[in-house]
Amino acid sequence: MPLPVETFFLHPDYQGTLQSQIQQMIAQGILSGRFQPGEKLPSTRKLATHLSVSRITVTLAYTELLSNDYLTSRGRSGYYVSRNAPSPPNFKSVEPIEDAVDWTRAIGQRFSGGQTPRKPQEWAKYKHPFTYGQADPTLFDHANWRLCALKALGQRDFTPLTTDYYDQDDPQLIEFIARHTLPRRGISARPEQILITLGAQNALWLTTQVLLTQRRTAAFEDPCYHALRDILTQSRCNMAPVRVDQDGLPPDAIPPDANVIFTTPSHQCPTNGTMPMNRRRALLERAREMDALIVEDDYEFEMSFLKPPSPALKS
């Protein structure tokens, strides 16, 4: 795959010929490490059209770089960055330039760094890798995923795939969730009650934006999903962490002034505890007494190997 022609630009104030500017542009790309050895350059015709210059100008520039061993030619295949091209030099780090912007005043909110856990990149080398969110290539269903990808990219499904629904969600996805996904959790919902988000963090962020203010209180599990704590911190609401036990969130420990209760009853994050049915009923009763809302993160309800998964609180 050749280098994108859109990355090549001519400087309008350059002092010199167009040929020398093209040579310098490519040489700088190689010396900076942006163009790697073996990468293919755009064809002379395509680059000339993009830069609005004659093709002979680009050809002469390529030929000069070829003679200086920056480029190599492979018959009718085109021009490539030479394996013998000069390597990017290792310059000493320069002193940072003082920024004219006072960022201590410009930034409205400070980022504390959060409590995001670090995942080792070499997790697969461990004998027992207890690192969540990683795919096991031996269990991944390559055949069916490949089949789904080919079907989605086919001409028959091209329109549903590329349609811009603007302020609506994909109707086929909504229908599948309403008919198949939610009923598995004992939930019945109409299409207008379903909102597709970009993921769990986006859903939690939207929830805090809608339900919480600086005067409202959020009760949440301690420990909890690390991203939830960061989102609640940024919302500037009153935070009331509630220590969990082996069965998850204890309803009696929830402060009476809580307006919103965040919980992961099916698979508590990160303790992996599952809330039993009697506590689920007690939690619903507690929220009803307090006139509080429950935000249920039905996290990994499938991870129930000793008995069938418990129904969602919403059910």
Domain 5-81 matching CATH 1.20.210.10: the answer reads: no
> Averaged over 275-287, what is the pLDDT?
94
Give yes or no for a contact between 60 and 21, defined as CB atoms under 8 angstroms apart. no
Q: Is the peptide bond before 223 cis (omega within 30 degrees of 0)?
A: yes
- pLDDT at residue 94, as a whole number: 64
Q: What is the mean pLDDT of the chain?
A: 88
The C-alpha atoms of residue 51 and residue 99 are separated, in whole angstroms, by 34
The C-alpha atoms of residue 279 and residue 268 are separated, in whole angstroms, by 14
Q: Do domains 5-81 and 200-296 have the same CATH topology?
A: no
- Edge-to-edge strand order for the sheet containing 293-296? 238-243, 217-222, 260-263, 293-296
**pLDDT tens-digit profile of 295-312?**
999 988 877 767 778 889
Give yes or no for a contact between 23 and 62, defined as CB atoms under 8 angstroms apart. no
The C-alpha atoms of residue 285 and residue 100 are separated, in whole angstroms, by 57
Phi (first) and psi of residue 37, to 5 degrees: -55, 135
> Averaged over 154-165, what is the pLDDT?
83
What CATH architecture is 200-296?
3-Layer(aba) Sandwich (3.40)
- What is this structure's pTM? 0.71
Domain ranges of the chain: 5-81, 128-193, 200-296
Vertex 240 angle, CA 237 and 242, to 5°: 150
In the block, residue with structure tokens 């969602």: 312
Residue 74: which residues within 8 A CB-CB, separation 6 or more?
A: 80
Rg (CA), the chain: 29
